Amino acid sequence: MPIEILMPALSPTMNEGNLVKWHKQEGQSVKAGEVLAEFETDKATMEVEAVDEGTLGKILVPAGTQGVKVNAVIAVLLREGEDKSALAVAPPAASAPAAALPIAVPMAPAPTQARAALPPAVGGGRIAASPLARRLAAQAGIDLAAIKGSGPRGRIVKADVESAPRSPAPAVVVRSEAGDGLPAHRLVPHSTMRKVIARRLTESKQTIPHFYLSIDCRIDALLKMRAELNGRSDEKKADNSYKLSVNDFVIKAAALALRKVPAANASWSDAGTLLYDVVDISVAVAIPGGLITPILKNADHKGLAAIANEMKALAARAREGKLMPEEFQGGTFSISNLGMYGIRDFAAVINPPQGCILAVGAGEMRPVVKDNALAIATVMSCTLSVDHRAVDGAVGAEFLAAFKKLIEDPIAMLL
């Protein structure tokens, strides 16, 4: 009997995805480990490899299909000795038997340039463009038809979208004519990423009892130490090259503070409070159309240079849509830093199922009292959003006190 190929779940929270491309065509043989197809989730494009062998008998969900439900049958694989007559019992594409076994497992994200070329337009006038280029164009409101592709046979790639002039996406609709009382506006369809962000943040604010704790940290010593350490970086040697940011110190200080106050490294579950044995810091990174939180694992055991270089690599891959699911799903604690935008202070929404997120503002010159006299210092305001089910106020305050001590005495991070 033919083997049903199911739409794989590329992450624990994935409900649907887009089938971007088939790497095998009907009638071609399939070997275990070969790339079978390419899928797009809300935050990454991934190749999937086959785990069984046979002949691809029939493709039920064509390339370019959006919103394919997880476990839906997308193709049928003929076993050795079977011919097309066995396809008579093949299920329709919409079915998803619970007992069916998936035949594919995710691989590393597919580099945009590695995808096979398509003609400039295919059936129905569909414009040939890479999945990443399509997503970037949709997020920026750019009409692909107005872009000249530089890829093979005129295919539109990421660089073409980035260099294209920005123009309004859909045409302006004068709502006063429609009688609904709305002013003229543009309707930008929600991307899959935006839908996921909306769902998760709504869930967070509706189901998690947030409370907030704020603290001011003087960072003059940190800035001086940062300048000294950056001056020691050897740009001629890749192994010794680094460029520390204030956020790298924040990540390190938060990780060490969580080690000192392990009760803050926790999250809520119906079965009990989860106290994590590892310190995996999720760091918010802005990407086109939304944000993502790549994870710096075991941050408490890493030096500042290692944190700086790893965070730089994670952020770059995040903006290119090349993170693996395990690189942005999970984590035990989150950090969101808007200081580079000049934001003085803010309160972030908890990233479920985590129990805390630290919001970091800009360092700015402020009047302070030092030795009973008025002085000027560079002050950075930080606000901890806490899930009161898992972490109490005293624990949150203890964490912030440990964090402040490390930030204001950064040499302690190196001991």
The partner residues of 283 in beta bridges, in order of sequence, read 335
C-alpha–C-alpha distance, residues 79 and 103, integer Å: 12
Specify the 3-state DSSP secondary structure of 57: strand
C-alpha–C-alpha distance, residues 138 and 185, integer Å: 17
C-alpha–C-alpha distance, residues 83 and 76, integer Å: 12
C-alpha–C-alpha distance, residues 48 and 30, integer Å: 13
DSSP conformation letters of 63-84? TTEEEEETT-EEEEEEPTT--G
Cα distances from 218 to residues 303, 359, 368, in angstroms, run 22, 16, 9
Radius of gyration of the chain (CA): 25
> Hey, CA dihedral for 42, 45, 50, 54, is it positive or negative?
positive
State how far Cα 338 lies from the chain centre.
17
Is residue 388 part of the annotated active site? The answer reads yes
Tell me the longest C-alpha to C-alpha distance in the chain.
Answer: 90
Closest CA to 364 of 376, 375, 354, 353: 376
List the catalytic residue out of 23, 185, 210, 388: 388
Classify residue 53 as exposed, middle or buried by CB count within 10 Å of its CB (0-12, 13-18, 19+): middle
Catalytic residue list:
388
